[in-house]
A and B are shown apart, each in its own frame.
Chain A
Amino acid sequence: MIKNNTIAAIATAPGSSGISIIRISGDEAFLVADRVFRHVGGKKLSESPGFRAYFGKIYDKNEPIDEVIALVMRGPKSYTGEDSVEISCHGGILVTRRILECVLHAGASMAEPGEFTKRAFLNGRIDLSQAEAVIDLIDAKNEFAVKSSLSQLDGRLSDRIRAMRAQILDAMSYIEAALDDPEHISLEGYEEEFTPKIVGFIEEIQDLIKNYDDSKVLKSGIKTVILGKPNAGKSSLLNLFAGRDLAIVTDIAGTTRDVISEQINISGIGFEIIDTAGIRQTGDVVEKIGVSRSISAMEGANLLLYVVDSSTELDENDRHILSIMGDRKVIIVYNKTDLSSKVDETELRALSPHATIIKMSAGDGTGFDKLKECMVSMFNSGSIAQNDQVIITNLRHKEALNSALTSLRRVLESIEGGFGEDLWNIDLQDAYESLGLIIGEAVGDDVVNNIFAKFCMGK
């Protein structure tokens, strides 16, 4: 599906500054912006002569979300060469994201990777010499988006979408087969079977959208890996983050045999907390796997939480691990402050000069708030960055679910309006395509192939 309509995206890196910009570009940019923006003086952006800034509020239906400045640029004298609006808002990730959602809901499509730049080029706003760079950008971002989109998707969710798509495909194929071969396949009475199916799909999608809103769906957030020797208290720390018992916590070293992760949200910022088996020279086969996973988990981490058991002295293992962390962003969790201390803080500082040290007790939770504050401030200061693709993927998926929902509702309208079965399929096909976008599957000749696979056709 190739679109050439009005697009929108967040134009600034999330969390990196106090102000975020949402850019809208395309033929209907002003119309879309007017649906969400209310100027203090009641002016319509679509009536603006352009190159002016307007102060007002963004509304989600009737609820004000943020005070913003909307900058109106008329094509061809804009970055993309098209009519554009840039909404500057107050920076926080949740607010920025919500404004973008409203804009998408108002009729814009999520911009493809590199799409603003591509349009700028196609509309002659960028120099020819930059064209190759544009191609590289599309290429690199596309590769990354595809990979990240699939890897971010929770397996259960993609299973649900796949299952629903398979059912939609079967329903469509049945109808198409009957239209193509009405003397072999009859649609009489099919409505009674079909309507509840559509209602079921609608409920399923509503449920999925709710899941997106609760952020349960994407493995999103700042990838934070908990490291430390066996029995340093890593699993207890994870359980604190999760608010429930996830990892098996015992006093026996090496009881966490696998990588366990949890999505959490601190002050609107998503973290993916990953617990690992401790890194230790070991002869235990099972634990060796855990150790190698820990090292690989560390590779892609945005933030490391190194848990030190302050009740036992630092040993070679600690020194080894702290040394392999290198320049990474590290918080040293000086754990078990409820017991008598046997670790010298100055030695830790010497081993890891850039690290922040937080004293706490993961057992009873003392000092945990300090740890969370530290994590948030590192994010806000820009020293750790969330992967912005996650936010984009999330919104893209939600947009796709919403359009699938709209299409399925239209199918019901067609049924209620007494329109023929061939018209049900027009919208059913759209729903099928939208769901395919989430799991990265194109439509191609699915229906035709499925007809041949499932139905006995012809002479």
Chain B
Amino acid sequence: MVLEEFCDVAVIGAGHAGCEAALASARLGCKTIIFTVSVDSIAMMPCNPNIGGSSKGHLVREIDALGGEMGKNIDKTFIQSKMLNSSKGPAVHSLRAQADKQNYSRTMRQTLENTENLTIKQAEVSDIVMENGVVTAVKTVSGATYHCKAAIICTGTYLRARCLFGNVINPTGPNGLMSATHLTASLKENGIELRRFKTGTPARIDGRTVDYSKMVEQFGDERVVPFSFTTDPETVQKEQVSCWLTYTNEETHKIIRDNLDRSPLFSGVIEGTGPRYCPSIEDKVVKFPDKDRHQLFLEPEGLYTNEMYIGGMSSSLPEDVQHAMIHTVPGLEHASVVRNAYAIEYDCVDALKLKHTLEFKDYGGLFAAGQFNGSSGYEEAAAQGIIAGINASLKLHGKDQLVLDRSQAYIGVLIDDLVTKESLEPYRMMTSRAEYRLVLRQDNADLRLTEIGHDIGLISDERYSAFLVKKAAIASEVDRLKNTFVGGSAPVQALLASYDSAPLNNRISLADLINRQELDYDKIAPIDPDRPTLPLDVVEEAVILVKYEGYISRQEKQIEQFKKLENKKLRQDFDYTQIKGLRKEAAQKLNLVRPASVGQASRISGVSPADISVLLVFFKMT
């Protein structure tokens, strides 16, 4: 007899994508089972010990605004926090926090364990059972069958994973954990092609063996800003730990160059395609021979351990070379290596096979999220996870699917890029990928998405009412700043003079005063006696809207144009080679991607504006 159980949604994998997917699905009332090869490794951070960073911080905020967990979890478990790019425009401000890795993982596990409708199973899923192209069950290696109406693949870097350094090849997932070896065959049997990607992680060293006096200390911010819109800022003001900056040098580079032939990357042992944005140290040395040094950041792995992560030194060189190169670095002369750096290869899918909902185009009820979709990074994974979890449950409830577009969220940009553009390497979020980034700021993620989260059912009524109050307060403060005028009275002129600001000849709005480069909201307080007392986030938002109004309204116009094509939907079962007048290359690409809208079609490389004109005419015709 084999075990048989029933659930609504089966989530395969409990990394950052799996956790968000399972939580969303369970919170929306679906009976959900989350499978993991190791319950002790739920929400594990096998690479860098931080959450957020440029554009990734935006993703975390958006996940939070939709009702996800990542932001809350890092707020509970961070040990250092920084707002990056704070001297630049508000659109590129980005929050990044160092996590206590074990605490992060443990806290997320507790949340999963205490969520209604959610069950955790330690088991390797080996089969996805489909009938007539629709998912009906998943099976584990032990033969147990879990009947389900939807399954979400979140296998991360575990599928047929192998870890490499030098000539050492370990058939494991990250951190020596068991890999998942069976699911690939089942997916292939069902006609789902997979490909192989590669990524890597640096060595960890014993913090006691580091000479910090030769490094530059990197502090957290004095005033910490939480990730979650629900976290009270006062609760995150706590003692923080430091990171440390040091550099490689010519000696380091010489050791690397002399041993390149022993790297599996250069000898051809590694088959997978690696990402350009986090190159191994050997890649950096080869690709940028003119740079005489590279930055390294020592980051604590947590409060529970002395282990330090050497950011900037990912590698797959042999053990002896790794040790030798580490010892050339100032402060690391006597460093004791706890874990070696390694490269990891894994199976993943070409996300062009997916809809924007993250459901497979050809397999009903089968969803996918995270590194399995060819992305990289915890935040990118979590962002896809929550969308896949939401859509699986919406589908089961017979409701419309959630698709965020490129003008609504970084999540929208991420998913649209994944399902539209052919990618040859793991995909990382970057602010330069978001064409409407002035409106997609981390500060307004709640204004953009809370309403959607509430409609779906992940945001409580209580949180939603608080949000509406904030929204109204922002609107009224913007209105007040634009419509409150001051004249050239003596106190006004005196205040302006004290900041070397031109005196007033005519009445001028408070907004116009704030927009003067030498002034700001706080500076004009003395001549704004009727100013209400407002929470900091409301003031911040109002000032941004006033100060960047010109830029923002230009982007909003572009967004209007963008939406016109986005709203022209295309059938997904159409053969584009039928259309006379479409270039052959364009027809092939369109058949490959099967875009959901004319807008998506226009972003496929190899589809020209003239092809789009042809599409518009053709579909009007039919």
Contact = CB atoms under 8 A, between A and B. Distances in A.
Interface in A385-435: 417-423, 425-426
A396 to B, nearest CB: 13
A426 B438 contact: yes
A437 to B, nearest CB: 10
Interface in B593-620: 602, 605, 608-610, 612-614, 616-618, 620
A56 to B, nearest CB: 31
Given A426-B551, A456-B291, A179 B85 contact: yes
B580 A132 contact: yes
Nearest to B86: A182
A121 interface: yes
Contacts of A183: 84, 295, 297
Nearest to A423: B89
B617 A131 contact: yes
Given A142-B610, A180-B431, A420-B92, A3 B48 contact: no
Interface stretch (A93-101, A340-348, A440-448): A440-448
A324 interface: no
Contact of A417 (B295, B517, B614): B517
B89 to A, nearest CB: 3
A452 B427 CA distance: 13
Nearest to B609: A2
Contacts of B517: 417-418
B499 interface: no
Contacts of B421: 445
A422 B89 contact: yes
Given A4-B561, A422-B431, A448-B432, A138 B613 contact: yes
Nearest to A184: B295
A452 B565 CA distance: 31
B314 interface: yes
A375 interface: no
A122 interface: yes
Interface string A112-151: 1111001001100000100110111011001000000000
Nearest to B291: A456
A188 to B, nearest CB: 9
Contacts of B55: 180
A108 interface: no
A138 B581 contact: yes
Contacts of B616: 118, 122
Nearest to B56: A180
Contacts of A121: 617, 620
B214 interface: no
15 contacts: A2-B609, A4-B561, A112-B610, A121-B620, A128-B621, A135-B618, A138-B614, A139-B614, A176-B430, A180-B55, A417-B517, A422-B92, A423-B548, A451-B430, A459-B278
A142 B185 CA distance: 47
Contacts of B505: none
Interface of A: 1-5, 112-115, 118, 121-122, 128, 131-132, 134-136, 138-139, 142, 176, 179-184, 187, 417-423, 425-426, 442, 444-445, 447-448, 451-452, 456-459
Q: Which 4 A-B pairs have the closest CB atoms?
A: A420-B89, A135-B581, A458-B278, A452-B276
A286 B190 CA distance: 66
A442 B91 CA distance: 25
B432 A139 contact: no
A141 to B, nearest CB: 9
A421 B55 CA distance: 16
B315 to A, nearest CB: 11
A389 B278 CA distance: 48
A134 B621 CA distance: 11
A115, A128, A456, A457 — which one has the most chain B CB atoms within 10 A of its CB?
A456
Nearest to A449: B276
B621 A131 contact: yes
B54 interface: yes
B564 interface: yes
Contacts of A135: 579-581, 614, 617-618
A193 to B, nearest CB: 17
Interface in B406-452: 421, 430-433, 437-438
Given A135-B580, A422-B431, A452-B277, A459 B614 contact: no
Contacts of B465: none
Interface in B277-304: 277-279, 284, 287-288, 291, 294-295, 297
Given A131-B620, A135-B614, 8 more contacts: A2-B602, A2-B609, A118-B613, A179-B432, A420-B87, A425-B432, A448-B433, A459-B314
Contacts of A459: 47-48, 202, 278, 311-312, 314
Contacts of B202: 459
B399 interface: no
A122, A135, A420, A445 — which one has the most chain B CB atoms within 10 A of its CB?
A135
A49 B408 CA distance: 40
A3 B558 CA distance: 10
Nearest to A446: B432
A2 B565 contact: yes
A422 B85 CA distance: 10
Nearest to B294: A456
Contacts of A423: 89, 91, 438, 548, 551
Contacts of A176: 430-432
A113 B613 CA distance: 10
A181 B613 contact: no
A163 to B, nearest CB: 22
B571 interface: no
B188 interface: no
A142 B284 CA distance: 43
Contacts of A132: 580-581, 621
A182 B614 contact: no
B48 A422 contact: no
A459 B296 CA distance: 8
Contact of B620 (A122, A422, A426): A122
A422 B435 CA distance: 12
Given A4-B564, A459-B47, A112 B609 contact: yes
A182 B89 CA distance: 13
B88 A456 contact: no
A422 B88 contact: yes
A448 to B, nearest CB: 6
B54 A180 contact: yes
A442 B548 CA distance: 28
Nearest to A173: B432
B581 A136 contact: yes
A187 B92 CA distance: 14
B71 to A, nearest CB: 21
B622 to A, nearest CB: 9
Nearest to A419: B89
A4 B560 CA distance: 10
A136 B421 CA distance: 28
Contacts of B84: 182-183
A140 to B, nearest CB: 9
B20 to A, nearest CB: 22
Contacts of A421: 88-89
Nearest to B278: A458
Contacts of B277: 452, 457-458
B541 to A, nearest CB: 17
B620 to A, nearest CB: 6
B430 A180 contact: yes
A139 B605 CA distance: 18
A304 B284 CA distance: 61
A422 B614 contact: no
Interface in B252-286: 276-279, 284
Contacts of B551: 419, 423, 426
A433 to B, nearest CB: 11
A452 B297 CA distance: 20
Nearest to A444: B605
Nearest to B313: A459
Contacts of B614: 135, 138-139
Contacts of B561: 2-5
Contacts of B47: 459
